[in-house]
Amino acid sequence: MVESVQVELDELYALSTAILTRSGFSGAHAAAISEMLSTCQIDDCQSHGLFRLLMCCQTMRGGKIDGHILPVVEASDSAIVRVDARGGMSLLAVEAGMPLLIEKTRSYGIAAMAINRCFHFSALWPEVEQLSAAGLAGLAMVPSHSWVAPAGGKRGTLGTNPLAFSWPRQNQTPFTFDFATSGFARGEIELYLRAGKPLPEGVAVDAEGNPTTDPQAALDGAMLTFGGYKGSALSIMIELMAGPLIDDLTSMESMAFAEGTGGAPYHGEIILAFDPDHFSGGRVADNDARAERLFADILDQGARLPSQRRFEARARNTARGYVEMPAALHAELTAMLD
């Protein structure tokens, strides 16, 4: 059993900010990253919480990221928002472009934001939940590094290529999902390695293309998509939508750009937003009720909605004022400030 420690909620943000600024990120970048990491940790999203500080610092040591550069939101009369991250982390670019994306979506009914030239490591659900909090439906996707073999293949060509969606609900938490199109997220495999646990069958192959449950062999080999050819096709779609469509890199190109330095992948991101008022012809209330009948029937069968556990964790941790995280990770992070 992994030993854990209790960490107060205020310490999450303070610890993250201190580590990031010492690593070389500006106050603005450190704040945006720390907000994301703290949010994920409070929701018990261990693979995308403070554990990701290790990747952020590794990215800075790699020497390719600019920890101080500010993003530029490009002027546009269309329903497309373009934000140039200029070689910085993605989160400040998303923060800069999100208000305009919401404004354009309410004007046009549908709008998209393309983030270019960014380093990306973070969960997507906090971004699409900004849209659902504004009463919009949101869809986001990114490539990564070519760590994942296509169905029928033996070497990494695709990224973990996550897809996130959030649907607004009145007076309650949204319907949200965020998952990698690989069988496991890369961060999950790293956590299995740290815990000394074998992987489930069917999520990775070793460097020779043979099935493996060894986390290190998986990291040295290739991950697999979920759902065989179906997951592989979705992953390829994300490569195209968040790569060539927006004039940015595929996962193979991102891996080549890194030149073995490690850290966060460098590529683009696309976020799509939809206004239910426009799409439903103003009949939002009637169609909210239709959606709620769908959710109710799912729950009536004893099934869960995506993110339900995460929302329960958020409520629990917020009420008690602390989270539990692995003691070894907390010790490793605090030692970074010595």
Active site amino acids: 47-48, 188
Residue 293 phi, psi dihedral angles, 5° rounding = -65, -35
Of 168, 127, 100, 139, the closest CA to residue 238 belongs to 139
Residue 244 phi, psi dihedral angles, 5° rounding = -55, -35
Of 1, 4, 2, the closest CA to residue 322 belongs to 4
Cβ-proximal residues to 165 (8 Å cutoff; 6+ apart), any chain: 128, 137, 138, 139, 140, 176, 177, 178
| Strand 222-224, strand 148-149: pairing | parallel
Of all helices (H) and strands (E), which one includes residue 21? helix 9-23
Are 161 and 141 contacting, i.e. CB atoms less than 8 angstroms apart? yes
Which CA distances in Å does 250 have to 89, 143, 154? 17, 7, 18
Whole-number Å distance between alpha carbons of 178 and 130: 14
Are 140 and 271 contacting, i.e. CB atoms less than 8 angstroms apart? yes
Of 78, 77, 88, 86, the closest CA to residue 30 belongs to 88
